[in-house]
Structure 1
Amino acid sequence: MVTSEQPKQKTEKELKKEAEKAAKLAKFEEKQRKLQEKAAAAAAKPKEGGIMVKRKVTVLKLAGLVVKRLYDLSDVSAGLPNVYDPGYVESEWYAWWEKEGFFKPEYMQKNTKTPNPKGNFTICIPPPNVTGTLHVGHALATTVEDTLTRWNRMKGKTTLFNPGCDHAGIATQVVVEKKLQRERGLSRHDLGRDRFIDEVWKWKNEKGGVIYDQLRKMGASVDWDRACFMMDPKMIRAVTEAFVRMHERGTIYRSNRLVNWSCALRSAISDIEEMKQMIVALQVDKKELSGRTLLPVPGYDEKVEFGILTSFAYKIKGGDDEVVVSTTRVETMLGDTAIAVHPEDPRYQHLIGKVCVHPFVDRELPIVPDSFVDREFGTGAVKITPAHDHNDYEVGIRHNLPFITCINDDGLIAAGCGKFSGMRRFDARKAVTEALKELNLYRGAEDNAMVVPVCSRSKDIIEPLLKAQWYVRCDEMARKAMAAVESGELKLIPDYHVATWNRWLQGSRDWCISRQLWWGHRIPAYFITVNDGKTPVGDPCDDHYWVSAHSEEIAIQKAAKKFNVDPKFITVKWDEDVLDTWFSSGMWPFAIMGWPENTSDMELYFPSNVLETGHDILFFWVARMVFMSQELTGKLPFKEVYLHAMIRDAHGRKMSKSLGNVIDPLDVIRGVTLEDLNRQLTTGNLDAKELAIAQAGQARDYPKVQNFVHLLFYACSSTSNVEGIPECGTDALRFALLAYTSQGRDINLDVLRVQGYRFFCNKIWQAVRFTLMQLGSEYRPEPFKLTGKESKVDLWILSRAAHAVNRCNAGMDAYNFTQAVCLNRKAPTVSLQELRLSGVTQTLYEFWLYDLCDIYLEAVKPVIASGTEESRECAKATLYNCVEVGLRLISPIMPFLSEELWQHLPHRESRPPSIIVHSYPEASEFRFTNEKIEAEVAFAMTVIRTVRSLRSDYELTNKTKTDLFVSVSSEEDHDCLTSLIPLIETLASSNKVEILLLQDAATANVPPARFLKGIINIERELAKLAAKKEKNEALVAKLVEQESRPDYETKVPLPVRVNNTEKVSKRLRFRLHTGSQSTKLPLFQKDALLIEVRSIEAAMAALSS
């Protein structure tokens, strides 16, 4: 028999809740219908003048409804939508700002020949690589840079925020090579240099615009007319001129030395770049192995074994003796040219001067004494391969040994290595080992802890090879750079980075700037051949046979002059290598201004005021810019360097595609589903195992979150849950990133915290909507000044705004964007000095959320609704002034939200067209600080919080109002609270408030207890106390039982026993407390609260300077 299950009958409470929800949604829908009608009417109405940019039809989706924005940017007659929506707010302001030229330095200074008395501010964007899109680390940098730029622009300075992109030599070439191989099955060598470069330019032109679009979306107020790409003609000219000058001075020279070589890229990697991975650990590029480990190597199907110390013997010529050596790279024995032993090692004294016979090639190896040998490591005898090891290179120089290359550029064993020639290097590793075994020279292998250097781009194992390269002498430039920081001429912020700066520069080695790539700035050096029949043919390793020039024609003329021959006898060959990317990047601050020409931009905007970047490239880029600028211009490139922290995920892990935790700022701004996040991973290069791990990480990090609009309108349903990253908007992301910036080394970014700042944006939105409603459509603000009729609460919010103005300016000036001190708003015990240490974001958050929304807006409602005409006008003027100033304060950080809301405010006749070119509030114009009134309101808030706590204890809603009696101990306290009764009544949900001195309380026959008869359920409160008591008794019994055990004193540590004793004492005190409460409950007689509060003196002392 089949039975149908009857639907569950809903309770009366559930039905009531559903009815309330339906009523609220219906009310909201009606408001939206009226808003659409109003917007349509405004759109149909002809405009007179105004800004010519029309807004596109922008759709705002709210709880399933649609609101269309049809009016132009100057028309705000349609009013504000009920709910903040970032897609709506951020849709078109940027295009208007750009069209109006607000971002150009000329906007603030029409005549650039006349100095701006307020000064200039210049900052250059650290040029992101053109290889891809911006990540959240770029978003942090852009936010800091743009916030500083907007703040200085609002302060009236001539500002230039210069954008651009880096060509990213290795990174771009690798990307395009992979694309060609994947799509067309071609390598760059199949195309040839010129055709391959054409392909790179095509790719750059296709992809380069994405980064600029992202910068626009982030709100970067850059001068796009000055946007610069590192391979633009003016940059090529500047880089060429720099190389020529430095080569002619001898600062750049050519030398044949060991370099770190990537066989996959067939290019050198500078020593400092290899050290970068070791010191900064941006990627796992220095593999630390504890022993035998298999690692993947590009081009090899099977993993290669590392972490093994192989021992083998060399036979002494003319006898039966042998010398056993150990190595982690046995294949390099094909290039051995000597054996080294310590000169004081008695085991080998008799062998010094003798020679060993190489088993595979016709070569004798002398046994040489050298004190670099560690007698305790291995056998105490070391094979010397000068052409493939940095230490061996120095030994080879000291003992005049031959330098024999046994591994080619492409990782194959070189000619002259017998049967191993042509083998891949790690195949030869196995073959050499087997051959040694066949000759009975193999002596075994053991695990060996070691570090394996890995190329950060190709993931290839770095191979030391002997190459002729171009180098920059760095010792003198490093000395000048250290002196600049030591003298204070150049400031590093935070200053603890000075130690890192000095540590790097004190050990600075000459900088290898040659790269065997095709994409990049081709080195403007020419190898000279003199065909006069007299001059010997030059060695490409010899710097004497090279000249540098802007063209081949000039090179020929310089070569002829150098060798004192007729130009007709000269032929030159242009070096095929390109410059290290850091070389051209090091010229960025002055090359983009037009150097080497003496341009007006060089005169006006160089040096820049500050460089903002991550501390991970302090040496690799910051130091190089200082080097190049001092060398070529005689000036520092900037006055200050602000180094922001590194962004990690919410768990403190480094962001990595293989972990699935890399955050695209556009995903945070627009929102993205978990499905789309997973899909993004599949487009990468992760293998199946890595992909599964990454997708699991995304599912864990981005669980279901409720849709923002549904949360606001209580219309939550199962369909309103979204897996992924919620839409947060640009302003919320910018504010969150700055709030995270603590001048530290790491930022653990939690996307849900960014969503919290979107809610903060909505709070600001609602505050301005409330303000507009209270002011009314006819309100026209006058220049603000105190009338003497303001209430204490009016004066208090003006004082809080004055503090916010002071702290925001001080924070911006000190790069203090976040909280610098522990600030407890609930306890008025923070000194003014500590208050001023609070950073910009903390200050703005507190002012808008706590001071303005939580206190002042609530306090002003009854005044505007039913106060006197005089009090209403004062309240309106104060409200308008604080909101308008608050929007200007937050504008550098939240440009879109502040512009939208500011445009809706009523304005005085003379006003700027945009808030972004308005003046930033200054302390000189906002002198309303009143510490006495701040202390009094803080005292009143103590009362209000106490009342709210009591009401919460007894589960009273705001609709349930009670009378309130406040007992104080002094006349001063009595007068203070009496003057703030309206504030207390409003915020404490009270019908009537009486402030009583202690003696008044006694004469009024009011018992020292809380009286709420008829308001609370006494039986329920007694039951709650009984439950607390029962739980407490159980805990006491458990602790007493533990203490009564026979071995308690001997087995339980003393700290634990002391802690248990304290717990028992605390629980016994709680027993007395709950007992006394239960005896007082039957005394409830009146619908009132009576509380005692402490003196105002403590609050006054805390807020006095």
Structure 2
Amino acid sequence: MYIIFKFARNCIRLCKRFKSTTVNIILKESLPTAAYQPDVVEKDKYANWEKRGLFKPSNNDKPVFSMVLPPPNVTGRLHLGHALACTVQDVIARHKRAAGYNVLWVPGMDHAGIATQGVVEKYLNRIRNVDRHRLGRELFIDEVWKWKEEHGNAIGDQLRKLGCSLDWSREVFTMNADHTYAVNMAFQRLFDRNLIYRKKALINWCRALNSTISDIELDLLKIDGPTHLNIPGYEKPVLFGQLYSFVYKIFGSSDEIVVATTQPETMLGDSAVAFHPDDNRYKSLAGKRVINPLTGRSMPIIFNDFVDMHFGSGAVKITPAHSKVDFDIANEHNLEYKQVIGEDGKMQNSGSYDGLMRYDCREKVVQKLNNDGLFVGVLPHSMCLPICSRTGDVVDFLPKEQWFISCTDMNERAAEMVKSGQLKIEPERFVDNWLQWCADDRDWCISRQLWWGHQVPAYRCSTVDKEVIWVAAQDANEARKRASVYLRTYPDSILAERDRDVLDTWFSSAIYPFAALGWPQHHYSKDYHDFYPLNLMVTGHDILGFWVHRMVMLGLELTERLPFPKVLLHGIICDNKGAKMSKSKGNVIDPIDIINGISLEDLRQKTIDNKNKGLLNQEEFDKAISYQRYNFMATEGIPRCGADALRFTLLSHDIKSNFVNFDINMCHANKLFCNKIWQSVKYLQLNFDKLNKPHDVVCLDDLTCFDKWILSRLQNMVAIVNKTTADADFHLTTKALRTFLYNEMCDIYLEATKPGFQGYKKTVAFAHAHTLSAVLNTGLRCLHPFMVYLTQEIIPKIPSFQDNIIYNFTDLDKPVFDWPLHSDFQSWDHPNVEKKIGKILNTASLVRELKGLCGISNRLRPLVCVRTADVDLKDDLENFKPVILGLTKCKDLQFEDAETARKRFIKGFIDFDTLVGVEILSDDVEKTLSMAKRKLTLKIEKLEKALTKLETKINNSNYVNTVSESMRIKEKQILLHKKEELKRMQTDLGRLSFENIGINKNNLEIK
């Protein structure tokens, strides 16, 4: 009986031993390829995520977080600017999900009235040689819908390729029935509150588009003196940048005054001549009139403060129908309006000049004035020419009946939201821009003369006796009923004609945050109840006024709530030279070409195809080809980088700065970073395979100094990542992740574990395995929002333990990985260990630097010699000699003695107590020393240039206004660091001599 009991007890002991050592090892599926291949890793993952509904909010009591994707225009394919915006939002959404939030991120696309109509017209003209007028409105709209179906799907595919975790079941298109109904209701409610009205006013008119355009579609082209420009509709270039002077005669007198203008043809529409009230030269002309030299009409002389008495003669002609400033002055002085330029760009109401194109008329007018002896002369003149960004045509200012929104009260409310802190704008430097927009008391023109868009839901209702009223309604029947109240007649006797104009796209977009969630039928919408207001709006700083400001105005007016409490503004994407990416510069890069890679020939063919479709004109095509040849010739195209490398690169820049410069080379380097991570997991898998043998129980006391060091660095990284991710300082997050995963974990810690994994002491190997498993699991969870495909592939394949002595992860089978909190790792802060290992790493770093200066390759394996008075460092160098030799690729490390004194070394100081030398294996010591000096001198010169450039940038007067506070702090720190580095290098250069390498000239013969 005793024997049986003893046998059973031994079996239990053995089982317990195996349970704590062998059975608790969880081996995972191997990685599919030897090296990281983005196409293999990314394949089918997104489709699987979407199929499993991972991006849909769940019905639970978790805290809610909601955003909408600023809808990209359905005009083609996404560009890198979209990729930046989408990646920023995706990181935020994924971080919130991992932190336990119930996240909704709504996708959508904007119909983009002007942009889409222009693109489709160019396409039809190129492919079928027809314009929209030949097709007719209905057939043209059909063609636009076909375009939307083709390119809208392409945009969705691109967003999926980028890994954007959008809830596609809630996708919105601004021309769909639900959104159209919301647009009509928004118009009607604002109309009923007397906030929308119709009036004749001066608007931006693009002749080529035959439509009003908003200020955002208007570019100001600066011209310094006489410049010829190609203008649509003109056979020869038109000359701009000249100031023409001519004479106005005083009515009933022989006196005359000289007036100057850049637009002589508008003289035909002049209504007055103005002077400054304080200009003593002209006070005697008060109450008098002048004769228009072209029309013979007399016009009043007026006085107004807007006139600059020091410019030219101090006299200004007033043309109310073709100048916004003059229009306001005319209202103030009750002047008449005479429109002499028509919507077709031809002269009208101008007598013999009628029918001439305005710039052809200019030549005729100047010639007439010259013939009559009234022309004084012409001078070069700097000016800003208003250009339509869509067509390149010069914008005219014309009087036209349009629909307007009264913005005064809504502006005051929007300003108060920011002043009171209820609406936070980040970066804060844009608060001033916000208040400037809110202080602009001009009303908002919301009608456009386009075919593609939301037709204005307003009806011109009239009776047989010609009484007319405008009403807003959902259809003609409702319009007649509403009009009957005001016209006091039966609805059936009223003729209701819908306005043919469409609404400004920004009006439709302004209601997007609440319309996308079910407004105005919000009483029946669970989404509106659960997710409105949104938690955050992320968009580019360039549309703060055009879009964000209007969303806040209409959100407050129509829902009585802020649509979101916080706005995060990111910069504009630029190329590696700092030039803004645009078709006109030819430097636009398709993010999919970076993800998949593309040859130079295919890149060229793609550009040819875009030109053939009418998407690029000849000038844009030439610039694109030139840019590709210059930037991608060396690499024969764009190398395959993958979505993760692209995402990580985009967010390695300070997104809060005004501009984000993108470099393909940096993106390719981050692909190599992905491979580094891939190899680290393979390394752990390989060593886990060797560990599946019985061993003693491992506890925290078995952790080596390097284990504790990497855990201390881990907690530091988690702390930084938690703070910077929450603050959207993603450039600091990515820097912390790359520093930890690439430099500290892969380059140092993995090397430090090799002796332990290869040694005979199993407790050390298991301590490394526990540590590395926990470090990889934690680090890659922090990396996951930035590199979604790579981390989703490898986190489940990290070998682990059922009871990891460092940290147990319980979410290995969950579709969304938990976010590592700093509080879980704070106990691993070991400053003393970091100080100890820091000295060891400084030694290794100096050895590598000295090898580099002398051109000693890793295969030569030189001897390292150390002289130190630091007893602790000496012990550590002895104890960690295998690690140091592995890090430095050297043969041996010895402490200075009589034997090493006879060898030839190049030496450098770590501090006052420690001198480190690397054996010079070349017989030509003078040549080696000369090489070292030359390399160090080049480094110093390069650093001095970088310092000068950085100091110039920081001292620039615009620096404070254009760079975020976090970037200013960072760059000042970089400046101080570079100055310290320069001082050290200059000191090192002075120390490089024969004496410093441990020999004198008489020793040169010693072998």
TM-score range relative to shorter protein = 0.7 to 0.9
Alignment-mate amino acid for residue 273 of structure 1 = I
Over 3 Å counting, the alpha-carbon distance change for 1:1025 and 1:522 in structure 2 is closer
How do residues 95-174 of structure 1 correspond to structure 2 at under 5 angstroms?
95-106=47-58, 112=59, 114-116=60-62, 119-174=63-118
CA apart distance, 1:585:
0.8
Q: Say whether 1:696 aligns with 2:626.
A: yes
Over 3 Å counting, the alpha-carbon distance change for 1:131 and 1:698 in structure 2 is same
Q: Corresponding residue for 1:445?
A: 378
Query: Counterpart of 1:333 in 2: which secondary structure?
Result: helix
The partner residue of 2:35 within 62, 65, 83 is 83
Q: Say whether 1:922 aligns with 2:848.
A: no
Over 3 Å counting, the alpha-carbon distance change for 1:877 and 1:418 in structure 2 is same
Q: Corresponding residue for 1:889?
A: 782
Over 3 Å counting, the alpha-carbon distance change for 1:341 and 1:660 in structure 2 is closer
Query: Counterpart of 1:140 in 2: which secondary structure?
Result: helix
Q: Corresponding residue for 1:938?
A: 838
Q: Tell me, in whole angstroms, the C-alpha distance in 2 between the residues paired with 1:664 and 1:419.
A: 52
Over 3 Å counting, the alpha-carbon distance change for 1:869 and 1:555 in structure 2 is same
Q: Tell me, in whole angstroms, the C-alpha distance in 2 between the residues paired with 1:871 and 1:524.
A: 76
Contact 1:164 1:227 in 2 (8 A): yes
Alignment-mate amino acid for residue 511 of structure 2 = M
Over 3 Å counting, the alpha-carbon distance change for 1:91 and 1:1075 in structure 2 is same
Q: Corresponding residue for 1:246?
A: 190
The partner residue of 2:548 within 598, 622, 637 is 622
Over 3 Å counting, the alpha-carbon distance change for 1:426 and 1:781 in structure 2 is farther
CA apart distance, 1:674:
2.0
- Segment drifting more, 309-318 vs 636-645: 309-318
How do residues 539-938 of structure 1 correspond to structure 2 at under 5 angstroms?
545-598=469-522, 599-682=525-608, 683-684=610-611, 691-705=621-635, 723-776=636-689, 787-818=700-731, 839-906=732-799, 912=811, 917-927=816-826, 928-938=828-838
CA apart distance, 1:566:
2.8
Q: Corresponding residue for 2:997?
A: 1077
Q: Determine which structure has greater relative contact order: mean sequence separation of CA pairs < 8 Å that are 6+ residues apart, divided by chain length.
A: 2
CA apart distance, 1:560:
1.3
Over 3 Å counting, the alpha-carbon distance change for 1:871 and 1:367 in structure 2 is closer
CA apart distance, 1:97:
0.9
Query: Counterpart of 2:701 in 1: which secondary structure?
Result: coil
Over 3 Å counting, the alpha-carbon distance change for 1:194 and 1:962 in structure 2 is closer
Q: Corresponding residue for 2:924?
A: 1020
Q: Corresponding residue for 1:92?
A: 44
Q: Corresponding residue for 1:825?
A: none
How do residues 224-235 of structure 1 correspond to structure 2 at under 5 angstroms?
224-235=168-179
Over 3 Å counting, the alpha-carbon distance change for 1:947 and 1:189 in structure 2 is closer
CA apart distance, 1:602:
0.9
- Segment drifting more, 296-305 vs 333-342: 333-342
Q: Say whether 1:273 aligns with 2:216.
A: yes
Over 3 Å counting, the alpha-carbon distance change for 1:190 and 1:896 in structure 2 is same
CA apart distance, 1:1010:
6.2
Q: Tell me, in whole angstroms, the C-alpha distance in 1 between the residues paired with 2:324 and 2:75.
A: 33
Contact 2:994 2:1000 in 1 (8 A): no
Give per-residue Cα distances to partners, 1:188-237, cap 9 Å, x unaligned: 22232222212211221122111111101111111111111111111111
Contact 2:39 2:596 in 1 (8 A): yes
Over 3 Å counting, the alpha-carbon distance change for 1:793 and 1:1010 in structure 2 is farther
Alignment-mate amino acid for residue 69 of structure 2 = I
Contact 2:66 2:535 in 1 (8 A): yes
Q: Tell me, in whole angstroms, the C-alpha distance in 1 between the residues paired with 2:992 and 2:400.
A: 85
Over 3 Å counting, the alpha-carbon distance change for 1:558 and 1:659 in structure 2 is closer
CA apart distance, 1:398:
2.5
CA apart distance, 1:413:
1.5
Give per-residue Cα distances to partners, 1:761-813, cap 9 Å, x unaligned: 1111111111111111886999x995322111112112222222221111110
Q: Tell me, in whole angstroms, the C-alpha distance in 2 between the residues paired with 1:623 and 1:1032.
A: 54
- Segment drifting more, 868-877 vs 231-240: 868-877
Query: Counterpart of 2:536 in 1: which secondary structure?
Result: strand
CA apart distance, 1:402:
1.8
Q: Tell me, in whole angstroms, the C-alpha distance in 1 between the residues paired with 2:146 and 2:936.
A: 75
Contact 2:688 2:799 in 1 (8 A): no
Query: Counterpart of 1:471 in 2: which secondary structure?
Result: strand
Give per-residue Cα distances to partners, 1:84-142, cap 9 Å, x unaligned: 11111112111111111111112xxxxx2x421xx122121111100011111111111
How many residue pairs match? The answer is 911
Over 3 Å counting, the alpha-carbon distance change for 1:796 and 1:401 in structure 2 is same
Contact 2:853 2:932 in 1 (8 A): no
Alignment-mate amino acid for residue 619 of structure 1 = G
Contact 1:262 1:455 in 2 (8 A): yes
Over 3 Å counting, the alpha-carbon distance change for 1:921 and 1:945 in structure 2 is same
Q: Tell me, in whole angstroms, the C-alpha distance in 2 between the residues paired with 1:88 and 1:1014.
A: 44
CA apart distance, 1:687:
6.4
Q: Corresponding residue for 1:30?
A: none
Contact 1:314 1:356 in 2 (8 A): yes
- Segment drifting more, 157-166 vs 505-514: 505-514
Over 3 Å counting, the alpha-carbon distance change for 1:140 and 1:1082 in structure 2 is farther
Q: Tell me, in whole angstroms, the C-alpha distance in 2 between the residues paired with 1:1085 and 1:978.
A: 32
TM-score normalised over the length of structure 1: 0.77
Over 3 Å counting, the alpha-carbon distance change for 1:874 and 1:301 in structure 2 is same
Alignment-mate amino acid for residue 566 of structure 2 = E
Give per-residue Cα distances to partners, 1:952-1007, cap 9 Å, x unaligned: 5666665666776655435554565565455335435567767x8xxxx8xx8788
Query: Counterpart of 2:145 in 1: which secondary structure?
Result: helix
Contact 1:147 1:893 in 2 (8 A): yes
CA apart distance, 1:630:
1.2
- Segment drifting more, 187-196 vs 591-600: 187-196
Alignment-mate amino acid for residue 427 of structure 2 = P
Q: Tell me, in whole angstroms, the C-alpha distance in 2 between the residues paired with 1:1030 and 1:626.
A: 61
Over 3 Å counting, the alpha-carbon distance change for 1:989 and 1:652 in structure 2 is closer
RMSD, matched Cα: 3.5
Contact 2:571 2:657 in 1 (8 A): yes
Gaps of 5+ in 2: 1-26, 803-808, 906-916, 938-981
Q: Say whether 1:220 aligns with 2:191.
A: no
The partner residue of 1:472 within 405, 426, 435 is 405
Contact 2:275 2:314 in 1 (8 A): yes
Contact 2:107 2:168 in 1 (8 A): yes
Q: Say whether 1:398 aligns with 2:332.
A: yes
How do residues 896-1045 of structure 1 correspond to structure 2 at under 5 angstroms?
896-906=789-799, 912=811, 917-927=816-826, 928-950=828-850, 966-969=866-869, 972-973=872-873, 980-981=880-881, 983-984=883-884, 986-988=886-888, 1017=921, 1019-1025=923-929
Give per-residue Cα distances to partners, 1:714-737, cap 9 Å, x unaligned: xxxxxxxxx121111111111110
Query: Counterpart of 1:105 in 2: which secondary structure?
Result: coil
Q: Tell me, in whole angstroms, the C-alpha distance in 2 between the residues paired with 1:233 and 1:197.
A: 15
Query: Counterpart of 1:842 in 2: which secondary structure?
Result: helix
Over 3 Å counting, the alpha-carbon distance change for 1:860 and 1:576 in structure 2 is same
Over 3 Å counting, the alpha-carbon distance change for 1:524 and 1:763 in structure 2 is same
The partner residue of 1:189 within 120, 133, 136 is 133
How do residues 348-359 of structure 1 correspond to structure 2 at under 5 angstroms?
348-349=282-283, 351-358=285-292
Over 3 Å counting, the alpha-carbon distance change for 1:638 and 1:371 in structure 2 is closer
Give per-residue Cα distances to partners, 1:153-187, cap 9 Å, x unaligned: 11121111211111100011111222232333332
Query: Counterpart of 2:993 in 1: which secondary structure?
Result: helix
Q: Tell me, in whole angstroms, the C-alpha distance in 2 between the residues paired with 1:768 and 1:566.
A: 80
Q: Tell me, in whole angstroms, the C-alpha distance in 2 between the residues paired with 1:677 and 1:777.
A: 48
Alignment-mate amino acid for residue 537 of structure 1 = E
Q: Tell me, in whole angstroms, the C-alpha distance in 1 between the residues paired with 2:52 and 2:118.
A: 40
